[in-house]
Structure 1
Amino acid sequence: MIESSIIDGIVKKYYDVSEVENTRYSMVFHIQGRGNEKTFGYLLDELDTVGATAFTNDFPDSQIIVINNGNVSRERRGLKTLMLFLSMAALIYTGSVYYSSYYSSDLIYRNIIYGTLFYAIPVIFILLFREAGKYIALRKNHIKYNFPIFVPSPGLGTLGTINSNKNQFRDSKSMIEAGTFSLLFGFFASVVLIIAGAAIMPYVNYSSAIHSPISALNFPLVFPLALDHLFPAYIIPDPLELAGYVGIITTALNSMPVGFMDGGLVFSGILGKQFKYASYAGIAILLAASILYPYILILVVLSVLLGIKGALPMNNFFKPRASVKWLALVIVVIVLILGFAPLPLHNTNSNNVAIPDSCYIMQQNNTGNVSVNITVQNHGVNISPLFSVTPGNFTVKGFTQNKTDTIYTLELITYNHNYSGRKNFTITVDTGMRSVQKTVSVYFLKPDSNMHINKAPGPESLTEKEYKPFNITVFNYSNRTLNAQIIPIFNGTGLYMIGYPVNNTEIELNPYSPGGVFFGIPGKGNQKLTMVSYDPGNLKLIILEHGGQALIVNINILPEPQPKTLSPPGIFPTINYTGYYYMQLDTIHSFYNF
């Protein structure tokens, strides 16, 4: 301990001392009156010149406890340097992998360079800009700045920083200012990088040169609340834009009221000794979030090792004004709510493209084209999906867009092609998040002069009742046996054929079955088909012969009360039952009269 007479003289210069206690490592001064906030600051400045420091105690009376500065453990620069190196390495790795997948680049050196320039360095810039805000607050309060501990993490590359537990905050106000300045600076820098990333991203159609490795991003609430008109929720961010997103996430994580994090400084300054309970709650929240995103456990472990109770002010004689507390609390809560995402980065198998299960019918001479509506979740204002159709050509006629979805209308060029019967077209949609393929069927039909339904030329309309079997008789006016296929296209109606080809059975009619249901009609003969439906609705029944020759019957199924003894599907035992098929009639191309 420094010469006690020197310490005694310095303290008595600023305070009225009633009693002094000397211990091995400290001197305890019992004082009359507490002076003001500036008085204690002057005392600390003068004690620092002789290698000492002090803190206050208000129980059982007002006390100033002076200790040697050597009793305050020094900075662990080696540990901080190592954590910074690991964070930078993790960020470079994340940036290079993201850049490689985003732009389909196979050049390792290029991926590392651009991943570093457009992701790793911008994220580090955000974290250092946060520290600049903290530095300003500490210098304003005449407090020495200590470099933070960087937190490396797989996935995003970092979880931000944690303040050094060696910082000596003179009062609660300085703690509140240091925490809020850091959060505000980090949030502002993140938003600037998001806007800059969106501005430099090329305004081109999506191609194989742009591909995001991320299947889904849970974006912070700042996107839908503050930036929705610029950045829809399902955006694929440019690497620089992603860096801004990571900055917002890490800033929000550090606003949690835990230990030595920025939020911990603010809440400790507000709550004082009661802060430990808020810190326990914050740890519990982070542990719950780590169930979804396990890397948050790294932040939890470091916070526990550095101290859950966090920092305490050296001078607890004076508390900040209520207005200061409320303003800081509002700032922290806003940053936390807008930026916190418990699952910032994950993979998902959820589909972001919807291609309808549709069958289309074209007229005899193929004088039109087939239009298919494809719904794609909105990925931002700068990237549109890549479409391809095989076989044949197509055009994108247009699209309609809302805040979450875009509906593209693809027109399959079928005009004047020599197609007949059923033709399958494979549509591929590549959104950058996934590639989706779907096969749609188009039936190119010609009038059949050999077949008629119920002795009348088609098309014919029938009205039948749900749950009640009905008959359709197909007549063959040719001398040869006709082999035909039954194809139903329906809206909310499951159609079953009874007693054919096996007596006392039902077989489900499915427009997607490659073979379909076939039957034969002898020359100059007929074939009776018995059917039943277990749902009301409208359907078109195609009886298709070779070469695309067909008859069509329109059937309207009226709703009826379900028989008590019936559990559909099932008047008879069912074979080949795979479930109901629901079609949308509004996706069927207009029928043409032959």
Structure 2
Amino acid sequence: MKEIPLCITLFGLTFLSTFLLGGIYYSFALLTVLSAHEVGHYVASRLHGVRSTLPYFIPFPLPPFGTLGAVIKTKAPIPNRKALFDIGVAGPFAGLALSVTAIGVGLRLSHLIPVEKVPEDAIRLSNPLFFSLVQRMVLGSVPENHEVILHPIAYAGWVGLFVTALNLLPIGQLDGGHVMYALLGRNSRRVFRLSIVGLVLTALFLNVGWLALVLLLLGIGYRHPAPLDDLTPLDSKRKLLGLLAIVVFVLSFTPTPFPQWSMGLKDLLWRAR
């Protein structure tokens, strides 16, 4: 396969960029989570006879992640909604399982310190509900006036949840777009448009960073191509899994992942006056 040397090179560069940012524990845990996500897509594609590339990891040696994730490109049309659904949902579910595992292991290696001892330059995170639930199960109630200093493995799990939420956004050719199209067919376009509007409002009032994602999605196109068989609906089992994917998105999403760096476009323009 001609892409193998490039895939290996990009994986190595991504290992280096994440290692330089967060150390060996963070790099290993995050690449394991991202690899599980992409392997989920790859295996589902193969099971449905859809040719696809190996994953291309994207190194990005800058905070806060050290990478922009990974992508897989399909080389053939999707045959039907069943295949579209399975390929779309396999990645997020596989990544979620490894993310939760990393969070659980990492939290056991994390430690509590009084709020007054937290360094001023510490990066503060806005935890999605999924992370908070796992933290509650592992650590119990955090004492008042204390904060959890995350081990790099726990942070990798947090990043994994964030990546899962991003991919499950019901827009275009994101994983969530695949799932939504498989569920609703051409009616999913309404959901795509509403999701774009939601991101714009989030960028306007909470976190201007979402504007970059909106521009990217509009640039590559937020419409979804139809599979070859666009008439046969999903079975009941897959419809239930689709609802579960929506629940996972809600539990994994946070509009202001880094609250100290978050500012809505409205406030930003007001300050610039």
- Hey, what's the Cα distance between the residues in 2 that align with 1:269 and 1:238? 38
1:165–1:260 CA contact under 8 A, matched in 2: no
Q: Which residue of the partner structure matches residue 275 of structure 1?
A: 188
Q: 1:210 Cα shift?
A: 8.7
Counterpart AA for 1:246? V
Provide, for residues 425-451 of structure 1, a one-character-per-residue CA deviation record: whole Å limited to 9, x for no partner: xxxxxxxxxxxxxxxxxxxxxxxxxxx
Q: Which residue of 2 aligns with 1:339?
A: 252
Does the aligned pair in 1 maintain the 2:51–2:75 contact within 8 Å?
Answer: no
Equivalent position to 1:94, from 8, 21, 46: 21
Q: CA deviation at 1:341?
A: 0.7
**Residues 129, 168 of structure 1: CA spacing in aligned structure 2 closer, same or farther, 3 A cutoff?**
same
Question: Is residue 255 of structure 2 the alignment partner of residue 328 of structure 1?
Answer: no
Q: Structure 1 unaligned runs (5+)?
A: 1-74, 96-114, 349-594
Tell me if 1:184 matches 2:93: yes
> Counterpart of 2:202?
289
Higher helix proportion: 2
Give the aligned residue type for 2:48. Answer: N
Q: Does structure 1 retain, via aligned residues, the 8 Å contact 2:96–2:164?
A: yes
Number of the residue aligned with 1:248:
161
C-alpha distance 200-225 of structure 1, shift in aligned 2 (>3 A)? closer
What is the CA-CA distance between 1:197 and the residue it aligns to?
A: 1.4
- Output the CA distance in 2 between the equivalents of 1:204 and 1:219: 16
1:268 positional shift: 1.2
Q: Which secondary structure does the structure 1 equivalent of 2:149 belong to?
A: coil
> Within the alignment, does 1:316 sit opposite 2:210 as a pair?
no
Partner residue, 2:269: none
Which is strand-richer, 1 or 2? 1
Write the deviation string for residues 103-158 of structure 1: whole angstroms up to 9, x where unpaired: xxxxxxxxxxxx1x121332122111011112221222121123456565743334
Helix, strand or coil: the match of 1:235?
strand
Shift of 1:332: 1.4
Secondary structure at the aligned position of 1:145 is classed as: coil
Equivalent position to 2:36, from 124, 129, 134: 129
Distance 1:320 1:258 in 2: 19
Q: 1:189 to 1:341 in 2, by over 3 A?
A: same
Cα separation, 2, equivalents of 1:144 and 1:314: 15
Report whether the alignment pairs 1:157 with 2:70: no
Distance 1:205 1:260, change over 3 A: closer
- Using the size of structure 2 for normalisation, the TM-score is 0.76
Question: Which residue does 1:68 correspond to in 2?
Answer: none
**2:232 aligned partner, one-letter code:** F
- Opposite residue 333 of structure 1, the aligned amino acid is I
Q: Per-residue deviation at 1:193? A: 0.7
Distance 1:244 1:288 in 2: 28
Match of 1:218 among 111, 126, 132: 126
Tell me, what secondary structure is at the counterpart of 1:164? coil
What is the aligned partner in structure 2 of residue 235 from structure 1?
Answer: 148
CA distance 1:192–1:226, change in 2 (3 Å) = closer
CA drift of 1:90 comes to: 5.3
Q: Distance in 2 between matches of 1:197 and 1:290?
A: 31
Change (3 A) 1:86 1:341: farther
1:193 aligns to what? Answer: 102
Query: 2:250 is paired with a residue of what secondary structure?
Result: helix
**Cα deviations by residue, 1:356-389 (Å, 9 ceiling, x for unpaired):** xxxxxxxxxxxxxxxxxxxxxxxxxxxxxxxxxx
Aligned residues: 251
Residues 163 and 135 of structure 1, relative CA distance in 2, 3 Å threshold: closer
Task: Tell me by how many angstroms 1:251 deviates.
Answer: 0.4
C-alpha spacing 1:221/1:191, structure 2 compared with 1 (3 Å) = same
Please tell me the root mean square deviation across aligned C-alpha atoms, in Å: 3.5
Question: Structure 2 stretches of 5 or more lacking a match?
Answer: 262-273
Residue 265 of structure 1 and its aligned partner are, at CA, apart by 0.9
Deviations 1:159-178 (A, max 9, x none): 54455365521110011111
Question: Are residues 276 and 157 of structure 1, via their aligned partners in 2, closer, same or farther at CA, if it must alter by over 3 Å?
Answer: farther
Contact 2:89 2:179 in 1 (8 A): yes
Is 1:169–1:313's contact at 8 Å kept on the other side of the alignment? yes
Q: 1:328 to 1:205 in 2, by over 3 A?
A: closer
Instruction: Tell me, yes or no, if structure 1 residue 141 matches structure 2 residue 55.
Output: no
Q: Are the equivalent residues in 2 in contact too, given 1:162–1:260 (CA < 8 A)? A: no
CA contact (8 A) 1:159 1:299 kept: no
Classify the secondary structure of the residue corresponding to 1:329. helix
What is the identity, as a one-letter code, of the residue corresponding to 2:158?
Answer: Y
Conservation of the 8 A alpha-carbon contact between 1:161 and 1:254? no
Normalization by structure 1: what TM-score? Answer: 0.37
1:87, distance to aligned residue in structure 2 (A):
5.7
Correspondences of 1:379-528 after superposition (within 5 Å): none
Call closer, same or farther: CA 1:192–1:155 in 2, change over 3 Å. Answer: same
Aligned mates of 1:214, 1:314 — CA distance in 2: 50
Task: Give, in angstroms, the shift of residue 215 of structure 1.
Answer: 4.7
> Identical aligned pairs, as a percentage?
26
Equivalent residues of 2:100, 2:134 under 8 A apart: no
Change (3 A) 1:142 1:191: same
Q: Deviations over 1:437-493 (max 9, x none)?
A: xxxxxxxxxxxxxxxxxxxxxxxxxxxxxxxxxxxxxxxxxxxxxxxxxxxxxxxxx
CA contact (8 A) 1:259 1:304 kept: no
Equivalent-residue separation in structure 1 for 2:32 and 2:218 (angstroms): 27
**Per-residue CA distance 1:192-244 (angstroms, 9 max, x = gap):** 1111212344x6978xx995843521001013334413245742211111000
- Secondary structure at the residue paired with 1:276? helix
Name the CA distance, whole Å, in 2 between partners of 1:212 and 1:123: 26
Mark the CA change 1:204 to 1:269 in structure 2 (over 3 Å): closer, same or farther.
closer
